[in-house]
Amino acid sequence: MAKEEKLNDQMFVRRQKMDALREQGIDPFGHRFAPDHDISTEIRAKYGNDSEELLAQQQNEVTIAGRMIAKRGSGKASFADLLDRGGKIQFYVRQDVVGEETYQLFKDSDIGDFWGITGDVIKTRMGELTIRARKMTFLTKALRPLPDKYHGLQDPELVYRQRYLDLITNRDSFERFQTWTKIIKAIRNYMDSNDFTEVETPILENVASGAEARPFITHHNALDIDMYMRIATELRLKRLIVGGMERVYELGRIFRNEGMDPHHNPEFDTMETYAAYFDFNDVMQETEGIFKTAAKVVSDDLKVNYQGTELDFSKPFERMHMVDAIKKFTGVDFWPEMTVEEARKLADENGVQYEDWWKVGHIINAFFEDKVQDQLEQPIFIYGHPKEISPLAHLNREDPRFTDRFELYILGNEYANAFTELNDPIDQRQRFEAEAKEHAEGNDEYQPIDEDFVEALEYGMPPTGGLGVGIDRLVMLMTDAKSIRDVLLFPTMRPKTNN
RNA sequence: GAGCCGUUAGCUCAGUCGGUAGAGCAUCUGACUUUUAAUCAGAGGGUCGGCGGUUCGAACCCGCCACGGCUCACCA
């Protein structure tokens, strides 16, 4: 086959070595191996602080397994590094200990091969914790060479397409994904301990609703209908509030058929939470708890460095009304009641662009986005968004120009969006219809009204505080990742062609 | 979607003025019983992303295409 012709010298040699192993009765793709209780981490924890002399005296025997990722051979004694999920650990092979046959097997073994090793824990003259091999079991042959051991895999395209190579050679990346898991677990634990119920709702939907986004369309053969990948979990979760679950959350993947860049992937994780009888102040407290919990995973003092800026999650997050924030950063005061003309004048004076159809609320929001947002560094809740830009939020009781909504900003980016949910079914239907009309006029993005959801509201949804958090971005923040692709094991990539 | 940049050995990267391909790691041969980017001596390895053009001659200049990265606009 044509594939065989593509073998380079190294792949050819490795295949020959594979055959040679078989001839010696060794399975190049071996079987079960029991590394007693030890991974490298445990060995380091147990023996890392012991002296060279003590270890030499005790002769503690351990058995580990892993991938050989470096080899420093000399004539009849060699050092090599073995990589397991805990990290790498050095092992030491002497011909006079393992015998000539095994030593030759080791010499012929390539970087990338898997070994099981039983031996004593020692420390070298340089003080490095090392397994002095006594028995070696060949476990798996690697037929392709690993990337550069020193630089690791650098080409971003290969890092994302062949994540397994990135995980082998770039320890930072490996550890970032371990941290991802810890953060997710910590957040779940936080929600659970606050008496929220974790649920899973459909990913395949008949109507993609709950957000303004273009969905992925797929097809169900047996029913012969098109279905949509969910773009939000919102409306399903609110049905569960109607159903009396009172506190629910879902942390999972949603899909939006939109552009990709360092902050957007077509599939990504959100966590939405809904709590009956919460108002947006309660949700702020909940949100703060979530972010502190996540920060705690990476930093005991809740101080996190992101791309050179130290973020402090230890203090209570600042809370500021959007209008106050604009006043603070620009001196412009939107508190007095004003006409659109007056607001436009302020916009003109401050170089804020606006559209003809904008109302005062839109202009306030533009001031915030243009003049304030980028200057917000430390975690801060901005609340009281104008009603014009917040169609799903309850109006504020004291000042109906604004809503009971907030967003969490860190380093100029939005990390959470929350509000006291609209629970008036008649109002909800009108807003859906207005939205559907907009879509219809803008043609292809038309989406049918989620009638079933409106009906659910008609049975009564208690006052509810809802929250949405972008989980990937939260993890990026906590792991100092520049791109969303660095926190996704397998980011979406265009298929590679043969050119 | 627009702009800019990139693609050279398995990997990480050089490649001057357009003169026909280089290094380190890895691989192969040899030496070496505490190395750690091991060392020393030697060797092999290339459709220079793809297709076309200009030229006596193209990794290099031009055009188109593919994939990727960054920035901007939109969204989380």
Question: CA–C1' distance A172–B66 (Å)?
Answer: 31
State mean pLDDT over A457-480: 96
In a domain, A227, yes or no: yes
Whether A462 sits with its Cβ under 7 A from any strand B atom: the answer reads no
Asked, for residue A164, whether it belongs to a domain, the answer is no
Q: Which of A3-17, A349-363, A459-473 has the highest mean pLDDT?
A: A459-473
Per-residue pLDDT band at A212 (split at 50, 70, 90): confident
Quickly count: other Cβ atoms within 10 Å of residue A47's Cβ: 17
Residues A254 and A121 in one domain: no
Q: Last residue of a domain, which of A146, A180, A195?
A: A146
Q: State whether A261 and A386 are in the same domain.
A: yes
pLDDT of A3 = 39
Q: Are A151 and A158 in contact (CB under 8 A)?
A: no
- CA-to-C1' distance for A157 and B5, Å? 15
Q: Is the CB of A266 under 7 A from strand B?
A: yes
Residues A195 and A294 in one domain: yes
Is the Cβ–Cβ distance between A469 and A271 less than 8 Å?
A: yes
Average pLDDT over residues A174-199: 98
Mean pLDDT of chain A: 92
Closest nucleotide to A154 by C1' from CA: B12
Which of A84, A42, A78 is closest to A60 using CA atoms?
A: A42
* The pLDDT of residue A436 is above 90: no
Kind of pairing, strands A197-198 and A303-306? unpaired
Co-location of A268 and A392 in the same domain: yes
Q: What is the arithmetic mean of pLDDT over A292-308?
A: 96
Q: Are residues A306 and A191 in the same domain?
A: yes
- CA closest to C1' of B40 belongs to A74
CA A410, A412, A418, A420 dihedral sign is positive
Predicted-complex ipTM score: 0.93
At what angle are helices A451-458 and A425-441 packed, to 10 degrees?
A: 170
List pLDDT tens digits, range A98-113.
999 999 999 999 999 9
Give the rounded percent of residues in chain A with a pLDDT score beyond 90. 84
With respect to residue A326, please indicate whether it lies within any of the assigned structural domains: no
Residue carrying the six token digits 């040679």: A20
- Mark whether A220 and A299 lie in a shared domain: yes
Give the model's confidence band at A450: pLDDT under 50 very low, under 70 low, under 90 confident, else very high.
confident
Rounded, the Å distance between the CA of A5 and C1' of B57 is 31
Q: Check pLDDT > 80 for residue A194.
A: yes
What per-residue confidence (pLDDT) applies to A357? 81
Those residues whose C-beta lies under 8 Å from the C-beta of residue A466, and which sit 6 or more positions away, are A234, A237, A238, A272, A273, A274, A275, A283, A418, A419, A420, A421
Residue A441 beta carbon within 7 A of nucleic strand B? no
A273 with A212, same domain: the answer is yes
Read off the pLDDT band of A290 (50, 70, 90): very high
A77 CA to B21 C1', in Å?
38
pLDDT band at A209 (very low <50, low <70, confident <90, very high): confident
In the predicted model, is pLDDT for residue A359 greater than 70?
Answer: yes
* Residue A159 forms part of a structural domain: no
Q: Same domain, yes or no, for A202 and A306?
A: yes
Is the Cβ atom of A414 within 7 Å of strand B at any atom? yes
The answer to the question of residue A346 being in a domain is: no
Rounded CA separation A326/A464 (Å): 28
- Distance set, CA A317 to CA A304, A314, A377, A475 (Å): 14, 8, 11, 19
Q: Average pLDDT in the A164-183 region?
A: 96
- Rounded to whole angstroms, the Cα distance separating A448 from A441 reads 13
Instruction: Report the C-alpha gap between A13 and A9 in whole angstroms.
Output: 6
Nearest to A259 by CA among A436, A442, A492, A496: A492
- Residue A364 in domain: no
| A203 pLDDT more than 50 | yes
Residue holding tokens 């080409």?
A155
Q: In this complex, which residue's CA is closest to the C1' atom of nucleotide B50?
A: A499
The upper half-sphere exposure of residue A260, i.e. CA atoms within 13 Å in the direction of its Cβ, equals: 13
Q: Confidence band (pLDDT; 50, 70, 90) for A443?
A: very low
Q: Which amino acid is at A29?
A: F
Q: Is the CB of A54 under 7 A from strand B?
A: no
CA of A169: nucleotide with nearest C1': B11
Residue recorded with tokens 């004291």: A398
**A 158-187 residues, CB < 7 A, strand B:** 158, 160
Q: What are phi and psi of A416, to 5 degrees?
A: -155, 150
- Say yes or no to pLDDT of A1 above 60: no
A119 touches strand B (CB under 7 A): no
**Distance separating alpha carbons of residues A301 and A313, to the nearest angstrom:** 8
CA angle, residues A359, A365, A370, in degrees to nearest 5: 125
Does the annotation flag A414 for ligand binding? yes
* Count of structural domains within chain A: 2
Domain housing A203: 169-317+379-487
Residue A78 above 60 pLDDT? yes
Sign of CA dihedral A160, A165, A170, A171: positive
What's the confidence (pLDDT) of residue A499? 46
- CB-to-strand B under 7 Å, chain A 186-245: 211-213
Question: Is the CB of A307 within 7 Å of strand B?
Answer: no
Q: Which whole number is the average pLDDT over A30-37?
A: 88
Within 5-34 of chain A, which residues have Cβ less than 7 Å from strand B?
8-10, 13, 17
Instruction: Give the domain CATH number at A411.
Output: 3.30.930.10
Instruction: Please state the rounded mean pLDDT for residues A333-345.
Output: 94
CA of A472 to C1' of B5 (A): 27
pLDDT (tens digit per residue) in A216-231:
999 999 999 999 999 9
Q: Is the CB of A287 under 7 A from strand B?
A: no
Residue A439 has pLDDT above 70, yes or no: no
Lowest mean pLDDT among A9-18, A28-37, A88-97, A445-454: A445-454
In a domain, A31, yes or no: yes
CA of A60, C1' of B39: distance in angstroms = 31
> What pLDDT is recorded for position A442?
53
> Residue A497: what pLDDT?
64
- A94 and A231, same domain (yes or no): no
pLDDT for position A323: 96
pTM as predicted: 0.93
Q: Where are the beta strands (DSSP E) in A35-100?
A: 61-73, 77-84, 87-94
Does one domain contain both A69 and A175? no
CA A355-A360-A362 angle, to 5 degrees, is 55
How buried is A286 (Cβ within 10 angstroms: 0-12 exposed, 13-18 middle, 19+ buried)? buried
Half-sphere exposure of A56 (CA within 13 A, CB side): 7
Token pair belonging to A249: 């959350």
Task: Please state, in angstroms and rounded to a whole number, the distance separating the CA atoms of residues A179 and A184.
Answer: 9
For residue A498, pLDDT over 70 is answered with no
What backbone torsions phi and psi does residue A324 show, to the nearest 5 degrees? -65, -35
CATH number, domain of A72, equals 2.40.50.140
> Average pLDDT, stretch A375-388?
93
Percentage with pLDDT > 70 across chain A: 96
Q: Are residues A118 and A189 in the same domain?
A: no
Per-residue pLDDT, A399: 94
Annotated binding residue A341: no
Q: Which of the nucleotides in strand B have any atom less than 7 Å away from a protein CB atom? A: 1, 6, 9-13, 24-28, 31-39, 44-45, 49-50, 65-76
Strand B at less than 7 A from CB of A374: no
Reply yes or no on whether the pLDDT at A432 is more than 90: no
Task: Report the pLDDT averaged over residues A428-443.
Answer: 71
Rounded to whole angstroms, the distance from the CA of residue A320 to the C1' of nucleotide B18 is 64
Whether the beta carbon of A498 falls within 7 A of nucleic chain B: the reply is no
pLDDT in tens, A230-250: 999 999 999 999 999 999 999
* A423, part of any domain: yes
Terminal Cα-to-Cα distance of chain A (whole angstroms): 19
pLDDT of A4: 42
- Identify the helix (H) or strand (E) that includes residue A436: helix A425-441
Instruction: For residues A383 and A421, state if they share a domain.
Output: yes
